[in-house]
């Protein structure tokens, strides 16, 4: 296992479409996922997509910690979600409703922005054991899976923003007109 270098916005790897994984159970995919888990933990992140570690494949990992779920301003009934690994994930909105919420990204260190996301989604993918996963998600859980899957299609969160006055350095953004009281410690 190894801690991998994380690509930052502007790196070509983050600006190309990632390729589907032909065999989700292949040993090199298992090794990649082990390294991604170690890298995410080292960076104190809540999610990570393979292109962020310079691998142009459709693999994402994420989790929703119990404290983050308990404080979820967008979903009062939010539940924690254990570490989830998805190969070839697909996200489908279940509503047209979007909500604005703060996001950080490990590829944009120090920055934060308010991003509109669908409030309810369904996602599917395959685990590295070859099992199918299908879940519905709301609140931060829905936000994080949309953020991670965007990484696979060369989209970074500022490209989803509709109000760039709500984008800046986290140390400077306290007191902006959208409250920063909700937890924003984890980047994805």
Provide the binding-site residues for Ni ion, judged by CB under 5 A: 105, 188
Closest approach, Cβ 40 to Ni ion, in A, equals 11
CB of 137 to Ni ion, least distance (A): 17
**CB closer to Ni ion, 9 vs 178:** 9
Please say which residue, 46 or 87, places its beta carbon nearer to Ni ion.
46
Identity of the residue, 51 or 128, whose beta carbon is nearer to Ni ion in the bound complex:
51
CB of 106 to Ni ion, least distance (A): 6
Question: Residue 143 and residue 188: Cα distance in Å, rounded?
Answer: 10
Q: How many CB atoms lie within 10 A of CB 72?
A: 22
CB 139 within 8 A of CB 75: yes
Closest approach of Ni ion to the CB of residue 147, in Å: 6
What are the angstrom distances between the C-alpha of 168 and each of 107, 116, 118, 164, 165? 14, 16, 22, 8, 8
Closer CB to Ni ion, 10 or 130, in the complex = 10
Select the residue whose beta carbon is closest to Ni ion and give its number. 105
> Is 148 one of the annotated active-site residues of the chain?
yes
Catalytic one of 97, 148, 182, 186: 148
Catalytic positions are: 148
């Amino acid at each position: 296992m190894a801690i991998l270098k994380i690509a930052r916005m502007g790196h070509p790897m983050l600006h190309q479409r990632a390729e589907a994984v032909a065999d989700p159970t292949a040993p090199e995919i298992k090794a990649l996922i082990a390294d991604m888990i170690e890298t995410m933990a080292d960076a104190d992140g809540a999610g990570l997509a393979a292109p962020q570690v310079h691998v142009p494949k459709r693999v994402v990992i994420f989790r929703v910690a119990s404290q983050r779920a308990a404080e979820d301003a967008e979903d009062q009934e939010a539940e924690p979600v254990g570490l989830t690994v998805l190969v070839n994930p697909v996200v489908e909105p279940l509503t047209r409703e979007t909500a604005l919420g703060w996001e950080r990204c490990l590829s944009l260190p120090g920055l934060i922005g308010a991003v509109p996301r669908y409030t309810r989604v369904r996602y599917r993918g395959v685990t590295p054991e070859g099992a199918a996963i299908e879940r519905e998600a709301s609140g931060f859980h829905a936000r994080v899976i949309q953020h991670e899957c965007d990484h696979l299609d060369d989209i970074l969160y500022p490209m989803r923003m509709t109000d760039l006055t709500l984008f800046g350095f986290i140390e400077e953004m306290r007191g902006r007109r959208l409250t920063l009281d909700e937890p924003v410690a984890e980047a994805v």
